[in-house]
Amino acid sequence: MKTALVTGGAGYIGSHCLKPLKAEGWDVVVVDNLSTGHKKAVTGFKLETGDIGDPDFLDKIFSSHTIDAVLHFAASAYVGESVQNPAKYYRNNVVNGLNLLTSMLRNGVKDLIFSSTCATYGNPTEIPITEKHSQTPVNPYGYTKMVFERMATDLARSSGLRPVFLRYFNAAGASDDGLIGEDHDPETHLIPLAIATALGLRGELTIFGDDYPTNDGTCVRDYIHISDLADAHMRALEYLRGGGEPTAFNLGNGEGYSVRQVIETVEKVSGKPVKVKMGARREGDPPTLIGSAEKARKVLGWQPKFPDLESIVKTAYKWHETNPNGYS
């Protein structure tokens, strides 16, 4: 049986890949330090609790399991926090990331799927953003993800590492079975915050700026369902195992929705009003981020099953309504 090591597998995106991996015949080993991840999200899977910054821990994992491929999600992932505390981001995402890469190579593991982001592009000079767009991040989070891509690309040349970089746009939604979903502490993302406001768990939602050069003045994002992201990971693994070359794929729906449209969609799905107040722009927010995932569609045969915002918000709403306190 082939075995996948999933770092950060107790987190939002990693945990949604576990079931699909199992369904595709993979044995799964999750590594997570549980600093932000949830044990409950790994129910039914092997969890090794530890930190990818610890070389001895990683070597022990690689020597006690025959790992065929690594899916690397473990990272710090708040844009705002990365501006306040860049050292944490360079340590967790770059230094510990390099530790994982060197441990993989020491143990003869070459196939890697990396959880990257559209934040590596910075402020777009063209919409939709393709993989050829320049990578000029506007915050430390984006830089750390870009540096990891660069390290892995150099190690591909020098040591035969085989990385595929998946650059997500805005991940949202929850698994169809309602068992796992989004639970960040603190929560900073628009969809869960709007839902929590609709459910009366929060007083009001602040819209961060309505003076952007967009249709209604609020920021536009390309939302992609978490299960569609998971499916892309399965296809990227298949691509690598079939001898595909190291490369990068954007993952988004190619459709932009403004903050106001997201709020209206949450109101429609929930049947409840979302109380809002206007606030200042949030530092580091590009006005519009919309991706072209044509390459993933062509090369991987990827076809999102949740192509519109309403279908994505429905799954998120179901999760938050059933689990108002998340996993706790």
**R_g of the chain computed on alpha carbons:** 19
Contacts of 150 (CB under 8 A, 6+ apart): none
What amino acid is encoded at 322 in this protein? T
Of 171, 180, 170, the residue nearest 320 (C-alpha): 180
| Set 90, 141, 143, 239: catalytic member | 141
Using CB under 6 A as the binding criterion, the count of chain residues that bind ligand UFG stands at: 21
141 is catalytic: yes
Residue with tokens 């892309």: 232
Which is nearer to ligand UFG, 109 or 248 (by Cβ)?
Answer: 248
Stretch that binds ligand UFG, among 20-28, 65-73, 111-119, 127-135 (CB under 6 A): 111-119
Task: Give me the half-sphere count of Cα atoms (radius 13 Å) on the Cβ side of residue 9.
Answer: 25
119 makes contact with ligand UFG (CB under 6 A)? yes
Binding mask 187-206 for ligand UFG (x = CB under 6 A): -xxx--x-----------xx
Please say whether the beta carbons of 249 and 35 come within 8 A.
no
Stretch that binds ligand UFG, among 11-19, 153-161, 182-190, 301-309 (CB under 6 A): 182-190
Binding mask 22-61 for ligand UFG (x = CB under 6 A): ----------------------------------------
Which is nearer to ligand UFG, 29 or 171 (by Cβ)?
Answer: 171
Q: What is the DSSP string of 203-246?
A: S-EEEE-S-SSSSSSS-EE-EEEHHHHHHHHHHHHHHHHTTPPS
How far apart are alpha carbons 144 and 93 in whole angstroms? 6
77 makes contact with ligand UFG (CB under 6 A)? yes
Task: Give me the half-sphere count of Cα atoms (radius 13 Å) on the Cβ side of residue 233.
Answer: 32
Dihedral-angle region of residue 25 (phi above 0 means left; psi in -120 to 50 means alpha; beta otherwise): left
Which is nearer to ligand UFG, 76 or 323 (by Cβ)?
Answer: 76
Taking the complex as a whole, how short is the minimal distance between the CB of residue 77 and ligand UFG, in angstroms? 5
Out of 7, 92, 116, 117, point to the residue binding ligand UFG (CB under 6 A): 117
Please say whether the beta carbons of 247 and 164 come within 8 A.
yes
Taking the complex as a whole, how short is the minimal distance between the CB of residue 262 and ligand UFG, in angstroms? 7
Taking the complex as a whole, how short is the minimal distance between the CB of residue 312 and ligand UFG, in angstroms? 12
309 makes contact with ligand UFG (CB under 6 A)? no
Residue with tokens 């790992």: 67
170 makes contact with ligand UFG (CB under 6 A)? yes
251 makes contact with ligand UFG (CB under 6 A)? no
282 makes contact with ligand UFG (CB under 6 A)? yes
H/E element, 31: strand 27-32
225 makes contact with ligand UFG (CB under 6 A)? no
The residues binding ligand UFG (CB under 6 A) are 77, 79, 117-119, 141, 170, 188-190, 193, 205-208, 219, 221, 259, 282, 285, 289
Active site residues: 141
